[in-house]
Structure 1
Amino acid sequence: MRISEKSRINTTATYMERINRAIDHIVTHLEEPVRLNDLARVARISPFHFHRVFQALVGETPADFVKRLRLDKALGLMNRKPVMSLTSIALRCGFSSSSDFTRSFKQRFGVAPSAFDIGGWRTARGNELNRIVEQDSPNGQLKRLPSRLNPEKFKVRIRDLSARTVAYIRVSRPYQSNAVVKAADRLINWAELRGYSNGQWLGYQWENPEITPLEDCRYHIAVEAEGFTARGEVGQFKFPPMIVAEVEIRGGIDLEIRALQWLYGSWLPRSGFVLDDHPCFEAWIGRPFGHGTEYFEIRLQLPIRWT
C-alpha cells in the first residue's frame, strides 16, 4: 500500500504536536524528576516508541535534552547576583544532589562548576550573538551601554499580568536565515482563519542566548488565544499570572539589545526585584514584523518578583 504525501504530512504534524507537549512539560518541570513514561504519557505516544520519535524530531535523546536544559539553567543561575550556593543551584535545576550536578557539569564543560569561568563563557556567547545581530543591523556595530547610564531614556513600567494562554510555533535555530519571519507568517495565517490575529503577539525563548549556544536556542512566535486545540506545529502553552518590568522600544535590533543590557545590568540590580523563572517576552505593538525586519515596535516584558 502506498502512503500519500498528504498522509505523511499529517503524520509528521501529529508527532510534532505531541513532542511539543513533551517539551513544554520538560521546561516547566525541570526541578522535578522527569521520567520517560511520564513524557510518553503527556505526548500520548507509546513508551516503547517515544524515545525514538523524540530523538528523530528534536535531535537529542529525552535524557540528553533534559540534562542540557538543566545545565543551561544552572549557568544562568551561576551568573546571577547574589551568588547562590552550588547545592542550591543543583536542586533548583532538578539534579538529585550537588555531586550529581558536578558530575554532569564536568562531562559537558570539562571542569567542575566551582572552577568554571562563567564570565568568559557569557562573553564568548554574547560576542557570537552580537556578530549575528550586527549582520542584520542597519546601524552597524553594536555599542554596549556604559554601566548605570541610560542615554536612550528607557522607562520601566511595572505591570501585573493575568494568566494568559498562547498559540505558538517553536522555531529551531532562530538566528539562522529568516526562520522566525516564516514561522510568524504561518502563525498569522493560522490566527486569521480562527479570529485570533488581533490578539497580543509575543516572542520568547526559554534559553538565554548569552548562555546557551545559539544552535541550541529555540524561539517561540506566539499569539494570545483561548478555546483552541493544538494541532501540528501550533502548540498551546499557559503562562501563570506574573509581574513584569516593561520597556517600550521603537527602533532597530540594536536598540532592543541595548534596552535588554540596561534592564538586566543597570535597572534590575537597583530595583528591589529579582528575576522570575519565566522567559523575557517581546510583546509586539501590532503584528510581528509589521514594519519589516529592521524596525520594531515592541514592549519588552521582563518577569520579576520581589526579593
Structure 2
Amino acid sequence: MLERLNQAMEHIERHLDQRIEVAELARIAVTSEHHFRRLFSALAGVPLSEYVRRRRLTVAGAEVLAGEKSLLDIAVRWGYGSNEAFARAFRAVHGIGPREARRTGATLHSQPRMSFRLVVEGSTTMRYRIVAKDAFHLVGRKARVPLVHEGMNPDIVAFVRGVEPATVRRIEALSDQEPRGVVNVSDNLVGDRAEGSELDYWLGAVTGADVPGDLDTLPVAAGDWAVFATAGEFPQAVQHLWRDVFTQWFPSNPYESRPGPEISKVRVSADGRHADAELWIPVRRA
C-alpha cells in the first residue's frame, strides 16, 4: 500500500504545473478517491489540496527568486490567472509578495516533497473486529459543526448541552442493535478533513425500527464495519484512535474506507477525564 502511495506522490511531482486529478491518484494507489483523501490527510497531516498548493508555491518561489521569468509567466504556469491572484496565494505561504521577494531576495518557506514509510514503534497492538451489518437508520439530533482535530470541540459541547434530557432518553430507547445506546456520529464532511472543515455531528442511536418523524434520520446502507476499541484520556484517546486507524491499521490491512458515517460509542468517567470507546468505521476489502 505504501509503495503505491509513493507512486502517487511521484505523479504529483511530475504534474505539479498541470491539473492533478484525485481520480488518477486513487487509480495509481489502487484505492477509491474517498479512501485516498482520508488516508493522505491522516498520513501527511494536511489535506491533499493544501499539500499540492504548498508544493506549487514552493517551486514558484524558487522561480521568483531566480528572476529569469516575468511574474505573470510564473503566475500562469502555476495556475493563477493574474498577478493579483498569484500574489495573494504567494503571500499566504511565504509571508511576502512575489515582487517584494524578488526585489529583496527574501527568505521563503518551503514545503518538502513527501514520501511515506512505515515506522514500527513499540509493541502496541490495535484491537479490532469486522462486523457485517444490514441496512439501518441513524436517528437523533444533528448539527453542522467545524472539525477540531485536538481537544474539545466547543460547537459540539454547546450542541450536546442544548439537547433536552428527555430527548436523549427517547433517542436511547430507540437503540436496538450494535453499537448500542447513544452514539456520536460524524458524517457528510466537506473537503479533505482540514481543521475547520464542516461536518454533520449526530447525537443518535442505531436502529432498525420505525423512527419518529420529529427526529433527524439518516438511512445507512448495509456493509462491513471495522470496530476498534480504546481506553484513555478524554477526548485525546478517541481522537488519537481515529488517527491510528488511518496511519497504522489501513496501510497494514486489506481494507479501505468507504462512504458512510463514522460512529463512536464513548463512556466517559464521572470526572470527565477518562473514556472507554469504540470507533466504527465503514470499510470494504481493498
TM-score, normalised relative to structure 2 = 0.50
Bigger Rg, which one = 2
**Structure number having the greater helix percentage:** 1
**Structure number having the greater strand percentage:** 2
